[in-house]
A and B are shown apart, each in its own frame.
Chain A
Amino acid sequence: MNQADFIALRTPLLVLLAVLLVAAAAVYSTEQIKASAQRQMAQQEGRLKEARTRLQKSGDEKDIIVRYRDAFRALERAGFVGEEKRINWLDGLRLTNQQADLFGVDYEISAQKRYRHAAALEPGQARLYESTMRLRFRLLHEEDLLRFFALLERQNVGIFHLDQCDMRRIDTRGVIRYQPNLSVECELSWITARVPPAGGPK
């Protein structure tokens, strides 16, 4: 193509370029609009499906409420559901210490945080939290350790997981009298759940 050819074809080439740009822009924008509409449609279909399923299962839902309502209330009372009740834990510790006839329990509670293993439990709308409690106390006998935690659980002040314990023998120099032989340091996690009320966010 020589210069004369180019001059002769300049206008149609410019028109072609302009039309190409406009066409590309038009196609791109309408594709975007369509994709957005498809996304919204997919979301709406999901909501419709959910609503349909919910309606179909409304009978089951009633049965579930009847079946689990009391157990849920019990968990609320026990302190598992709702805001954590540290004062109940401390009362529980105090009572356990008395009932186990120990030499006192030192405690230290960390700040509350999201429960590490929540995802494995698939909690749905509920949110799980944990507060780590570090305990230090002394025992006469190894068996007292198990008895202590059995009694603590029986206080029904929440759900806890014992994460680790370190039990060390105290050197008593062979003296036989009523005194602690073992020092114990344990870590446990108090786990609580926050559940949105009925009719709350789905």
Chain B
Amino acid sequence: MARKLLIGISAQGATVARRRGNRIAECEVFASDESGYAAFREYLTTCEYIPASLMVDTVEEDYRFETLPHAFGSDRAQMVTRKLRQHYRNTSYVTSWLLGRDTSKRRDDRFLFSALTNPELIDEWLKAVIARGLPVAGIFLLPMVSAALPQKLDIKAGNLLIVAQHSGGLRLTFFRDRQFRLSRLTRGDNGKSSDRARFFGEEISNTRLYLHALRTMTLDEQLTVLLLDRQDDLVDVAAAVARDNPSVDCVRIGRNELSTRLGVSESLLDISPYVIYLQLLGFGASQSNLAPPSVTVGYKRHQARRAIYGATAAIALGAAIWAGADLVKTWELRGAEELAARDTAQLSAQYLQITRRFPAAPASAESLKRTVEIAQTLREEARTPRAMMSVISRALQSSPTVVIRDFAWKYGTSEIEVENRSARAAETAAPAAPVFDPRMQPKPALVRKQSALIEGEIRPFRGDYRDAIDTINGFADRIAKDPSVAEVRVVKLPLNVNPTLQLSGNTLDNPERQTGTADFELLVVFRPNV
């Protein structure tokens, strides 16, 4: 828990408490005079850099309930600021507290405006704090701080009046449904027990009348009066109040109970009545901070620094946990790897022992098998032109005029070259020797096919191109009918009837004489792996 400096200021002086952890560790009281201010400044020099929260208990306070049209964001802020300026021109210690929405048709916003109307009361104290360089977290009015008291003391009354004797007089603060409504600071207790009971009773009655006048609460309604008796000297008062006011339920919280419920040592309760409220102030930021931004700028920076250091620590911690987890995982992996290596060595040794009993072999079993299988595959994949020649021979039997001059055959992944025969060997040399890479995906089975280019002529040829072409086409058709053949393509015919080319010849019809030649070329392609 962070350390805090808690300062309760009244017209009589200041009560300064230093909070460590969840408790007030020490408390001192300074009078509201030059010697008190000097002592306070001296005291502050002993304080390290900790945020300070100020609380004021004074009659020079003001509370107003206002309803404003419902608005959001900057509109609401501007409206509230304008309203605060209207009400409180002479002080910068003002604040507003949004209480909720009105139940009327317009559902306006309900605000509680509060102000410290005499800023001079805290000037000297605040100057000393700022001069010391301590960040000011906020300035609060005591009744606002006491709003946390019913919850801390577990008081569930709907109409609750907290009554406590302070150095400046009797403080009466009224809460309805745990929401602040009214607070008064009166003077006049002379300390005598009989007078005190009457005084308390009168002030409680006055407050009830005032609440009735404000229409906050009727006189018939049940009221719970909570007497804060830090010195156990209000037993008679509590009894008198209960006796004199039938509609009042008087609850006295004594010294021991205050100490237990609030976590303040009894010795500290003796020092000042403000210790109770300073303890409440230390629990957390109260609503209605009166301090203007110029006062809290140091605290904002302090918070920013803390946030940055917090983020830094979180990052460092996160990184340390992450890196630590990584290192632990690495250590586990190394251990597992060593174990696996030992197991591998053991298995390898066993395997070696077994292999010593194996028959002598020139290579590993896997290599033996694979090599024999590869040789078998290579033999099975070997091809000769026999199948192609057989197909062509069968087709030739029905075409006695077809004469083959040249027969080129190829067995490869691509067909035989048609245009440039001299380059046919390229396919065998072109692919670069593949480098064996075990990471490579296995390639699909090799697909090769046989292809042949047949150059021939029609003999005898006596100028009848139609007949020659029919003969060639018939020859090609007979080849194509063989089930092994995937494709037959006539690459060249005796007569090129392309209209873009020149064409010349002799039409002399002489059965004894050969007229020109009827050359042709056929490409035959077998189905793959035939």
Binding site for B on A (CB under 8 A): 5, 8-9, 12-13, 15-16, 19-20, 22-24, 26-27, 29-31, 33-34, 37-38, 40-41, 44-45, 47-48, 51-52, 54-55, 58, 60-62, 64-69, 71-73, 75-76, 80-81, 110, 113-128, 132, 134, 142, 145-146, 149-150, 159-169, 187, 189, 191, 193, 195-200, 202
Residue from B319, B336, B379, B435 within 8 A of A26 (CB atoms): B319
Answer yes or no: B384 CB below 8 A from chain A CBs.
yes
Question: Nearest 7 pairs between A and B by C-beta?
Answer: A114-B433, A23-B319, A30-B326, A120-B446, A51-B347, A37-B333, A12-B308
| The one of B301, B323, B375, B383 that contacts A8, using a Cβ cutoff of 8 Å | B301
What residues of chain A lie closer than 8 Å to B304, measured between beta carbons? Answer: 5, 8-9, 12
**Segment from B143-151, B231-239, B338-346 that makes contact with A:** B338-346
A19 touches B316 (CB 8 A): yes
Cross-chain contact A81 with B371 (CB below 8 angstroms): yes
Q: Which residues of B contact A (CB under 8 A)?
A: 301, 304-305, 308-309, 311-312, 315-316, 318-320, 322-323, 326-327, 329-330, 333-334, 336-337, 340-341, 343-344, 347-348, 350-351, 354-355, 357-359, 361-372, 374-375, 377-379, 381-386, 389, 404-412, 416, 421, 424-425, 427-429, 431, 433-436, 440, 442-446
Contacts of B323 in A (CB 8 A): 26-27, 29-30
Docked pose: A65 CA to B370 CA in angstroms: 11
A13 to chain B, nearest CB (A): 6
Task: Give min CB distance, A159 to chain B, whole Å.
Answer: 5
Given contacts A12-B305, A48-B344, contact A37 B446 (CB under 8 A): no
User: Which residues in B have their C-beta under 8 angstroms from that of A13?
Assistant: 308
Q: Is B312's CB under 8 angstroms from A12's CB?
A: yes
A53 to B330, CA, bound (A): 27
Main secondary structure of the interface of B (DSSP, over half): helix
Closest to B361 in A: A65
Task: Write out the residue numbers on chain B whose beta carbons fall within 8 Å of the beta carbon of A114.
Answer: 433-435
Name the prevailing secondary structure of the A interface residues: helix
The residue on A at minimum CB distance from B417 is A164
Chain B's nearest CB lies how many Å from the CB of A29?
A: 8
Q: A19-B315, A55-B350, A72-B368 are in contact. Are A162 and B434 (CB under 8 A)?
A: no
Residues of A within 8 Å of B377, CB to CB, are 121
Known: A16-B315, A81-B371. A196 touches B363 (CB 8 A): yes
A8, A72, A189: the one contacting B305 at CB < 8 Å is A8
**What's the Cα separation between A9 and B341 when bound, in Å?**
54
B359 in contact with A120 (CB, 8 Å):
no
Q: Quick check: B410 and A116 within 8 Å, CB to CB?
A: no
Chain A residues near B368: list those with CB within 8 A: 64-65, 68-69, 72
Instruction: State whether A132 touches B443 (Cβ < 8 A).
Output: no
Further pairs besides A19-B319, A196-B367: 18, Cβ < 8 Å: A23-B319, A34-B326, A37-B329, A41-B336, A48-B347, A51-B347, A68-B371, A110-B429, A118-B434, A119-B442, A123-B370, A125-B364, A159-B379, A163-B412, A164-B410, A164-B428, A169-B406, A191-B378
**Which of B326, B405, B424, B429 lies in contact with A33, CB distance below 8 A?**
B326
Pick from B330, B347, B408: contact of A34, CB below 8 A.
B330
Closest chain B CB from A14 CB (angstroms): 10
Contacts of B379 in A (CB 8 A): 159
Once bound together, how far apart are the Cα atoms of A9 and B377, in whole Å? Answer: 79
Q: Report yes or no: A33 in contact with B330, Cβ–Cβ below 8 A.
A: yes
- In the complex, 18 of the A-B residue pairs with CB atoms within 8 angstroms, ordered by the A residue number, are A20-B315, A22-B319, A27-B323, A33-B327, A34-B326, A37-B334, A58-B355, A60-B365, A69-B359, A75-B375, A114-B434, A120-B445, A124-B366, A125-B370, A126-B371, A161-B411, A162-B382, A164-B409
Give the total number of A-B pairs whose CB atoms are below 8 A apart: 274
Contact in complex: A5, B301 (CB < 8 Å)? yes
Q: Contacts of B443 on A, CB cut-off 8 Å?
A: 119-120
Q: Which residue of B lies closest to A75 (CB)?
A: B375
- Do B347 and A197 touch across chains, with their CB atoms under 8 A apart? no
Question: With A20-B315, A27-B323 in contact, is A75–B371 under 8 Å at CB?
Answer: yes
Check if B429 sits within 8 Å of A132, measured CB to CB: yes
Q: Known interface pairs A72-B362, A165-B408. Does A195 touch B385 (Cβ–Cβ under 8 Å)?
A: no
Q: Is the CB of A41 within 8 A of B382?
A: no
Q: CA–CA, A20 to B305, complex, Å?
A: 16
On whether the beta carbons of B425 and A164 are closer than 8 Å, the reply is yes
A185 and B318 alpha carbons, distance in the complex (Å):
78
Question: In angstroms, how far is the closest chain A Cβ from the Cβ of B30?
Answer: 29
* Inter-subunit contact A55/B354 (CB<8 Å): yes
Given contacts A69-B368, A196-B367, are A27 and B337 in contact (CB under 8 A)? no
Q: Which residues of B contact A65 (CB under 8 A)?
A: 358-359, 361, 365, 368
Residue of A nearest to B319 (CB): A23
Contacts of A75 in B (CB 8 A): 371-372, 375
CB nearest neighbor in A for B302: A8
CA distance A124 to B438 in the complex (A): 9
Closest chain-B Cβ to A62's Cβ sits at a distance in Å of 5
Complex Cα gap A150–B397 (Å): 25
Q: How far apart are B110's CB and chain A's nearest CB, in angstroms?
A: 35
Please determine whether B371 and A72 come into contact, CB atoms closer than 8 angstroms: yes
Task: Indicate the member of A37, A47, A160 with the most B CB atoms within 10 Å.
Answer: A37
| Separation of A55 and B334 alpha carbons in the complex (Å) | 25
* Chain A residues closer than 8 Å to B340, beta-carbon distance: 41, 44-45, 47-48
Return the contact of A76 from the options B362, B386, B436 (Cβ within 8 A). B362
B337's partner among A40, A168, A189 (CB-CB below 8 A) is A40
In whole angstroms, what is the CA distance A146 to B485 when docked?
Answer: 20
- The answer for the CA separation of A51 and B443 in the assembled complex, in Å, is 27
Partner of A58, one of B327, B333, B354, B381: B354
Contact of B315 with A23 in the complex, beta carbons under 8 Å: yes
> Of A58, A64, A167, A199, which one neighbours B407 at CB under 8 angstroms?
A167
Tell me the bound Cα distance from A27 to B367 in angstroms.
47
- Of the candidates B330, B366, B410, B442, which one forms a contact with A30 in the assembled complex, judged by CB atoms under 8 Å apart? B330
Residues on A with beta carbons closer than 8 Å to the beta carbon of B410: 163-165
Chain B hits for A168, CB < 8 A: 405-407
Q: Which residue of B has the minimal Cβ distance to A142?
A: B389
Query: Would B382 and A160 count as touching, CB distance under 8 A?
Result: yes
Is the pair B369, A58 in contact by a Cβ cutoff of 8 Å?
no
- Looking at the assembled complex, report how far the CB atom of B328 sits from the nearest CB atom of chain A, in whole angstroms: 10
B355 to chain A, nearest CB (A): 7
Given contacts A12-B312, A191-B378, contact A146 B385 (CB under 8 A): yes
Taken together as a complex, chains A and B put the C-alpha atoms of A170 and B434 apart, in Å, by 40
Q: When the two chains form the complex, which single residue of B330, B364, B442 contacts A198, counting CB atoms closer than 8 Å? A: B364
CB-based nearest A residue for B446:
A120
